[in-house]
Structure 1
Amino acid sequence: MDARRFDALTRLISIRDSRRTVLGFLAALPLLSRLPGWLSPEEAAAKDRRRRRKGRQKKRRNKAKGKRQRQRNRHACKPKGKAVVCAGTCGAVKSRQTCGKTVDCGSCACDPPCAVCFTCQAGPNTPGTCVPDPDQAGAPCGSPGQVCASDGTCACSANSCPACEECGDDGACAGCSGCCDGETCVAACPACTLCDDKQCVPCPGCCDGSGVCQDGDTNAACGKDGGVCEVCTAPETCGGGDEAGMCGCTPTTCAAEGKNCGQFSDGCGTMLDCGSCSNPTPVCASNICTACTTHAECGQDAICADGSCLACDITCGTTDHTCDAAALETALASGGAVVVCPGLYTGRISVKNVASVTMLGGGQGDDPTSSTVLRYLEVTNVAAFAMSHVRIQGFARTNCVADNGIYIEDSGATLTDCAIADIGPKFCTAFSTLRDSIVEMVDCLVTGSYLYGSGGLHISGGRLTLRRSSIKSNYTLDNGGGLSATDGALVEILDGTAITENRAEGGGGGINVGGGAEVRLHGSTVTGNQARKGADEGGGIYVGKTTDTPPVLGKAIISADSSVTGNVIFDVSDPNHTEPNNCAGPGTIDGICGP
């Protein structure tokens, strides 16, 4: 015994363990393999009983296992037909093909043995002859589906092939050329079925009246799971109710369609109320609130101003759209905002001693059906006067019917989107005068006036600012066909304002700058104007002086982005004869005048 095993033995002896454990270890030792023989008779008998018991249990298990296997084999074995078993052999045959049973394959008198579907017929005095075996008729013989015919041929028949196969001309079964309805190969599947991978399967869609399977996803044929097709009628559509193959309708909403006003169909037969519009987008167009563009969109007794609809405080409902201005004058005298509907308002309108007043009209055109037209407006001692979308229309093209024009004195005024037109004629009580006031005109037109003291506008003292405006085609018998600034007035002509095609019998066909007055041009033009040839000329601008001693000079400042060109002087004896003349006068001109 080596040292390792001896140490293990001593450890076992030194611990309290079962005798079986110790004996098992000792039995593994080569020198002590006979140690069990030294056991007591009782221990040896017990060990023998255990061994025999295990042997009996193992024998019973093996016997049961063999029985189960034999049963499985009997159930699993399927004997081959006689044609297959007896092909090329004779006599009694017992083999795995017969599942252990004996099959009589006929006489062995034939050499060689008979082929499949044949049997050997032996005569008393003749050798055996292979003849068709009637016992094998209909028996499987070759490839699946082939059977023995009465003439001994091994071939398929109309009914012998496996399910969904066809008997070919070569006598062998082949795949279905049409479609299989489960057992039989057919040229076309039954009604309400489909051929899928050569198998007749239920229609996944719907069946129409002819039994033809439809996809089931159109309004003309809607359905599923092989049901009868339905015809969907508006507003329903196939799948429209969020369920495929069903007629339905999913209603939309105003928000989903981007609609916010008026009545709108939900697409399923119900009208939705999408709300109403208000300023600054008061008009409902195609169920969307938008800004107004015409007075008509705002309804009766309202005007469209800067995209909003405003109810009128003053209306003119006569058939000829001509009304007396007394009601308008009363409304303006009260101050605040006054909205004036389109119409021609005749008579003098005087606004005096009011802190603040705003007049908003219907437009600055000459048609009283769509614009607010006044004859004469006088504003005196008003701290803040605002007027927009209004036209002051005079009588320069007719006779002096009545007072006309605009007169602003000792006031602060803002005129926007306005027109001052045809003020006159000469020697009539007509004014286009701004006296000692702070006035701003934006997007305004001054045109067609015919006055004695000045043509388009006369600014006496105070300050005038012109932005994006036009002074055009005005005429005067004195100086300043387009504009005359006197008595220390300051005039700023800005932002693309144009002084064009004006005419003066005196100096300054476009602009007359009196002594002490100042005109500043920035980003504007003075062109196409005419002044009379003589001492006071200046087809474009005349800059004069006062008669004081010493005289006070006027001043014109022309910025580099402005243009004073194309102006002329004319000879009174021959008005058709003109000479280039842009600026003249003893006053100061700062900047480039002319080419």
Structure 2
Amino acid sequence: MCRSDSLACTCTPTTCAAQGKTCGTMPDGCGGTLSCGTCGANQQCTSNVCVAVCTPTTCAAQGKTCGSISDGCGGTLSCGTCGANQQCTGNVCVAACTPTTCAAQGKTCGSISDGCGGTLSCGTCGANQQCTGNVCVAACTPTTCAAQGKTCGSISDGCGGTLSCGTCGANQQCTGNVCVAVCTPTTCAAQGKTCGSISDGCGGTLSCGTCLSKQYCSNNVCVTGCMPTTCSAEGKNCGAIPDGCGGTLECGICVGGQSCEGNVCGSGESLQSYDR
């Protein structure tokens, strides 16, 4: 500092601690030199500060064979160059890559990889065309739910997209992407049926069971008594025959000049041969 009665000034030296220094020598700011000590084992003095000793890495240790990399201690390593038909990728020599082309890939629009880490620009499409899968195709006009007569669920727009056609209201269900009134299936009991199969009124089938012994199923109802035979069961196709239960079955008439013999249609000659 300077005295008020003199032009002479005094200098206050700095300290190693004030400067954050822990090793080596440095000026004290007043023309002198400070000794800041030495570093311990496995330490080195860098810019008058003790730091851990840095052991530079090597190209081999990093698996690098070409180009330049950091040695981890502030320096740079030169890892060499590649041979013929090789290229340096990520500081490693690899077989040289021959980029593909848009034409080789059959692509006419947009961007694709060149197979060697680069990107190819394959151009743009003309009027009334669109780029689909990097190929120019005729422009597609998406359909609509209304155009397809659909009122619910999701459908294709015909151009690779999906249309949401909404939801149905109360007491409605979505069938084939169309809102329809909710269908409540009927039952065998509601229809008074006790056997066989009937429609449930909603596109399904109801199984109404089987009949007990000495019963048969007539019009999906079990009845007790005699079960009539049929013309086809008896092999008859004309005239009348007993039904086996006291009734009569009408088995039809013959056509085309045929005659009914034994309740079977045929020519007179074939019937005579049959009789023999």
Normalising to structure 1: TM-score of the pair? 0.17
The structure, 1 or 2, with the larger RCO (C-alpha pairs under 8 Å, 6+ apart) is 2
Normalising to structure 2: TM-score of the pair? 0.29
Name which one, 1 or 2, has greater alpha-carbon Rg.
Answer: 1
- Compare the two structures and name the one with the higher helix fraction: 1
- Compare the two structures and name the one with the higher strand fraction: 1
